[in-house]
Structure 1
């Protein structure tokens, strides 16, 4: 499962309306009207309410929970008129710890001018229980009485135009071992300003993030971030003893796009996605004058389902095993569309995740990649044929599945909406589970060896006008028994990768080559599949002959005249007897 990411949509995007995609998570509306979309523990989107586009935010990662707080709400929170829990978009749980002796932790806050700071928001997090204690001013000094243990503490000092558009200074003490009464100072004079420039004069910054993270495990993290659309007024620095914590990782993210004549980033042809990390302590300010030689170039081409349909794309970074909490700006465009994105890799540390949502409300994912400076990478997204991918495991006596039913021809796993859908599991021909969706499922099963059949189906109709992959069915037959650890199920799929126009259409009335391959996640060796084609929406089928082609096969289809669709059906049996059967109605269009 991916780590938590936060996607910030700013006013610069002038976001057009689009079909909501339940696959992208649940939607929450804060008391301020700002909308927050939570995609489980792995991603989050902030959409400021109309008229609130310049509001700055704080994001706090508290174990398995997340708070997203608009800065202009802090006066109400500090006055006790509004609860922080109203901004808890992922509820946090704490771990029980044995009773321990209580000690006093005294924290003093000084501004960048050395004077007592009266407006601040401070968090002290227990490293073992994830219990979080909050402190705010005035006065500049406060004392907390906490159990002995390991802690991390950080604050954000506010000055200038508070709370509407304040200057913000983040200071962090990476490690506190509270084994007696202790005192520390958050001194703003230890911070410095943040600034980033990119080698593109018409690009404008969309996202500025400064923060830190401690990774506990793939699902649990501690961290905090300041978020805005510019680094103007952002300061950052170390506090506490002059000692590093190797688990503590500082991070800065800066994302930019070329603006259009309308002053928005919609259809921006050029974007810059940049992140920097530092282990041990927060940066002491940050100044980056990015050069072209620092960057890799990604040429991303997106096909379309609908004429002038709307898509979006977001990139967020991680350092594997160290920092997986990602921050990104969503960029919208009308399909088909191509853009050049420039990314850094921070001396080889950074991996970039990519997510794209197409005009048919399907979200595609790309595994994190390390892009080398000076190189160009070409990617194609949202290209038919859209069909099932593989994602299934057995762990002990439980089978878990989450089938990306709309995986595109480039292999990006695709999750989206459907009019009707179904997941069912049979054991020795007896149904043991059924659900009216294709959401993630974990199904308890007996430990002994048995034959299983897993069926997943999705049909699209009203109210969505999506005619590609309008009816997708896949069924796997395999044997499984108790495992001592998580093991991949012996699932495979047949992939079709035709060379289509950008509107996912092939020419009618001619011969056409269809490449075919088999993708497996486990099981026996691959054998030649059986493939059928239909030109009448599956009423009748014709088996096609396959010839060897590279690592797979190819067949020559004979498209009829006129506008219509090609539907495909396939069956594959591997050398161990594991079977996949799949049908895709309206796999791609044909037109004169």
Structure 2
């Protein structure tokens, strides 16, 4: 005895349901035996969320049937979706049990009783007034639905059935420009469409307008963007469209303008000539820009002179300008590569509420898009039009610093430590390719961590008692990546015990930073007297017990004491660079009045020329 079907689909019944017609499907059985078989029939049914289907929703045409020997017999299963008020998927199993022998056959069935929903028709028209083969991203704001709708047959129309609700529609309307050319594109957004009846929306690219931004001089666009964000209640969506230029690109808002707190849009980008970039962003609240034309005047720009270092030959790099607006929107662009080291001019516009930051990359030779050194500033800043500013990236001395991002904290018996190895001389965050690194944590002399990788650890179950901790790292990097800080060894010791309460406690880690004035190759003159300012960070900055520094002019083979001088509270080293030396290395040990220590060795802290 076997069922002819393993499952039966009773389909979808569209809302509303008062006029639904019952749907019937036949379930058949085959008897391959030599004797007829009588089957007793019963059902097991459930509705949405596992609740039982209402009485009469599913019915079976008989409670038993006989299947002849060598033949088939069937029974009808009917779903009547007029019954009840719940919407969703209703499912069941028809159990056929032989009255003799006990054999059972189970056949599943289901029907979808659609919740309140309506037909949504989308029409696309290109800039020539022709139907456009285009598509729309449909996002439910108060319904759980996301669909990519696309005109598959090229008639410029898409039809969909969607639940009652509010939706965001993001559409890209295409206008063909010939077989060998890319189509023109119109980004059109209907950010808040309420579907409570049969609805049609037309995306007509003729109503969108071009985006065209020109900057001073002959700089060419390298990356442009259009961005928008929508936030209503628990719904949030942002969209970024980045391209090499705005050529053939237009934008258009569809529907009503929204409150400024809900919707904002931005246009901008980066234009470049050599190592000089022009970086602009403009923001509009309440709607997507319907086109945007701007001839940027020099008077609306600030100049940021970016000294971008490199301590190896034939290096190339890029600048990554990033912006943040008062609405909280943020993004960035990439320049094309240029030779390093150099002082790159980065012009930025300065509309109210816009802040800028800069990251830079020293690219890996022969590897498209990969970097050997990545530098980022700790925060974005506001700039003023007409003013000139100076920033320095990727110039030594590279060594650990202690601040709110590079620190150790404890809560209960959990300890977290994360300290970057290579902050540059300006205090920028630096991520660098390395050839090897090992980090360790000891408690009262017993190692609890000893592994390859950076000094960024989250430890659980450390002892409750007061104990002495030592955290350390030893890292090297190739001279193909950097000629300075080729090896760095750093270690901190401190005493800690279980922290009570609900908040983390910052642990007493300190550092000493070497901040000499170096050129963009991280070098200083040989054969001269040279001052190296010192900066203390952490508890030792106001609670120093001792600071001892040693210097080496042969890459760390021989060390001599370098006296620390203090004048008006400022500490420094006064060195006499040997004429034939090629580099300067440092060792330092810093101790605060509580006995916590920091020791650091920086091999080839800077070069001599």
Which category describes the TM-score, using the shorter chain as reference length? 0.7 to 0.9
Q: 1:112 offset after TM fit, Å?
A: 5.1
Relative to the length of structure 1, the TM-score reads 0.72
Residue of structure 1 in register with 2:561 after alignment: 543
Following superposition of structure 1 onto structure 2, how do residues 150-229 of structure 1 map, counting pairs within 5 Å?
A: 151-161=167-177, 164-176=181-193, 183-200=200-217, 202-214=218-230, 222-229=237-244
1:381 paired residue among 388, 393, 398: 393
Q: Indicate conservation of the 8 Å contact 2:128/2:175, yes or no.
A: no
1:533 and 2:535 matched: no
SS at match of 2:299: helix
SS at match of 1:358: strand
SS at match of 2:542: coil
Q: 1:477 offset after TM fit, Å?
A: 2.6
Q: 1:102 offset after TM fit, Å?
A: 5.5
Residue of structure 1 in register with 2:102 after alignment: none
Q: Determine the C-alpha separation between the residues in 2 that align with 1:386 and 1:129.
A: 52
State the structure with bigger RCO (CA 8 A, min sep 6), 1 or 2: 1
The verdict on how the C-alpha distance between 1:184 and 1:333 changes in structure 2, with shifts beyond 3 A counting, is same
Q: Determine the C-alpha separation between the residues in 2 that align with 1:401 and 1:585.
A: 24
Residue of structure 1 in register with 2:355 after alignment: 351
1:506 and 2:506 matched: no
Residue of structure 2 in register with 1:36 after alignment: none
Q: Deviations over 1:515-556 (max 9, x none)?
A: 111233x78735363322122333343232222246631111
Residue of structure 2 in register with 1:471 after alignment: 487
Q: Determine the C-alpha separation between the residues in 1 that align with 2:603 and 2:232.
A: 45
SS at match of 1:372: coil
2:134 paired residue among 98, 103, 120: 120
Residue of structure 2 in register with 1:68 after alignment: none
Q: Determine the C-alpha separation between the residues in 2 that align with 1:310 and 1:584.
A: 25
Moved more, 300-309 or 374-383: 300-309
Q: Determine the C-alpha separation between the residues in 2 that align with 1:215 and 1:552.
A: 50
Q: Determine the C-alpha separation between the residues in 1 that align with 2:418 and 2:178.
A: 45
Q: Deviations over 1:39-90 (max 9, x none)?
A: xxxxxxxxxxxxxxxxxxxxxxxxxxxxxxxxxxxxxxxxxxxxxxxxxxxx
Following superposition of structure 1 onto structure 2, how do residues 34-73 of structure 1 map, counting pairs within 5 Å?
A: none
1:255 and 2:306 matched: no
Q: Deviations over 1:426-471 (max 9, x none)?
A: 3444333343111754443448465432222211247x36331111
Q: Indicate conservation of the 8 Å contact 1:525/1:575, yes or no.
A: no
Residue of structure 1 in register with 2:332 after alignment: 327
1:278 and 2:284 matched: yes
Residue of structure 1 in register with 2:122 after alignment: 108
Following superposition of structure 1 onto structure 2, how do residues 265-344 of structure 1 map, counting pairs within 5 Å?
A: 268-319=274-325, 322-324=328-330, 326-344=331-349
Q: Determine the C-alpha separation between the residues in 2 that align with 1:321 and 1:402.
A: 31
The verdict on how the C-alpha distance between 1:242 and 1:388 changes in structure 2, with shifts beyond 3 A counting, is closer
Q: Indicate conservation of the 8 Å contact 1:214/1:323, yes or no.
A: no
Q: Determine the C-alpha separation between the residues in 2 that align with 1:578 and 1:491.
A: 7
Q: Indicate conservation of the 8 Å contact 2:173/2:203, yes or no.
A: no
Q: Determine the C-alpha separation between the residues in 2 that align with 1:399 and 1:145.
A: 53
Q: Indicate conservation of the 8 Å contact 1:114/1:187, yes or no.
A: no
Q: Indicate conservation of the 8 Å contact 2:562/2:573, yes or no.
A: yes
* RMSD after superposition: 3.3
Q: Determine the C-alpha separation between the residues in 2 that align with 1:394 and 1:156.
A: 49
Q: 1:108 offset after TM fit, Å?
A: 1.8
Q: Indicate conservation of the 8 Å contact 1:213/1:222, yes or no.
A: yes
- Structure 1 unmatched runs, 5+: 1-98, 259-267
Moved more, 362-371 or 143-152: 143-152
Q: Indicate conservation of the 8 Å contact 1:304/1:359, yes or no.
A: no
The verdict on how the C-alpha distance between 1:141 and 1:465 changes in structure 2, with shifts beyond 3 A counting, is closer
1:370 paired residue among 378, 382, 387: 382
Q: Deviations over 1:458-502 (max 9, x none)?
A: 11247x363311111112233364563466554332111112233
Q: Indicate conservation of the 8 Å contact 1:298/1:340, yes or no.
A: yes
1:239 paired residue among 254, 278, 281: 254
The verdict on how the C-alpha distance between 1:243 and 1:311 changes in structure 2, with shifts beyond 3 A counting, is closer
Q: Indicate conservation of the 8 Å contact 1:121/1:134, yes or no.
A: yes
Q: Indicate conservation of the 8 Å contact 1:186/1:240, yes or no.
A: no
The verdict on how the C-alpha distance between 1:401 and 1:187 changes in structure 2, with shifts beyond 3 A counting, is farther
Q: Determine the C-alpha separation between the residues in 2 that align with 1:352 and 1:515.
A: 29
Residue of structure 2 in register with 1:579 after alignment: 597
Q: 1:179 offset after TM fit, Å?
A: 6.5
Q: Determine the C-alpha separation between the residues in 2 that align with 1:449 and 1:559.
A: 48
2:156 paired residue among 132, 136, 140: 140
Moved more, 181-190 or 228-237: 181-190
The verdict on how the C-alpha distance between 1:222 and 1:537 changes in structure 2, with shifts beyond 3 A counting, is same
Q: 1:236 offset after TM fit, Å?
A: 0.8
Q: Indicate conservation of the 8 Å contact 2:124/2:134, yes or no.
A: no
Q: 1:364 offset after TM fit, Å?
A: 0.8
Q: Indicate conservation of the 8 Å contact 1:509/1:559, yes or no.
A: yes
Q: Indicate conservation of the 8 Å contact 1:247/1:322, yes or no.
A: no
Residue of structure 2 in register with 1:404 after alignment: 420
Q: Indicate conservation of the 8 Å contact 1:100/1:148, yes or no.
A: no
SS at match of 1:369: coil
The verdict on how the C-alpha distance between 1:352 and 1:575 changes in structure 2, with shifts beyond 3 A counting, is farther
Q: 1:574 offset after TM fit, Å?
A: 3.7
Q: Indicate conservation of the 8 Å contact 1:489/1:523, yes or no.
A: no
Q: Indicate conservation of the 8 Å contact 2:230/2:237, yes or no.
A: yes
- Structure 2 unmatched runs, 5+: 1-112, 365-371
Residue of structure 2 in register with 1:6 after alignment: none
The verdict on how the C-alpha distance between 1:418 and 1:222 changes in structure 2, with shifts beyond 3 A counting, is same
Residue of structure 2 in register with 1:433 after alignment: 449
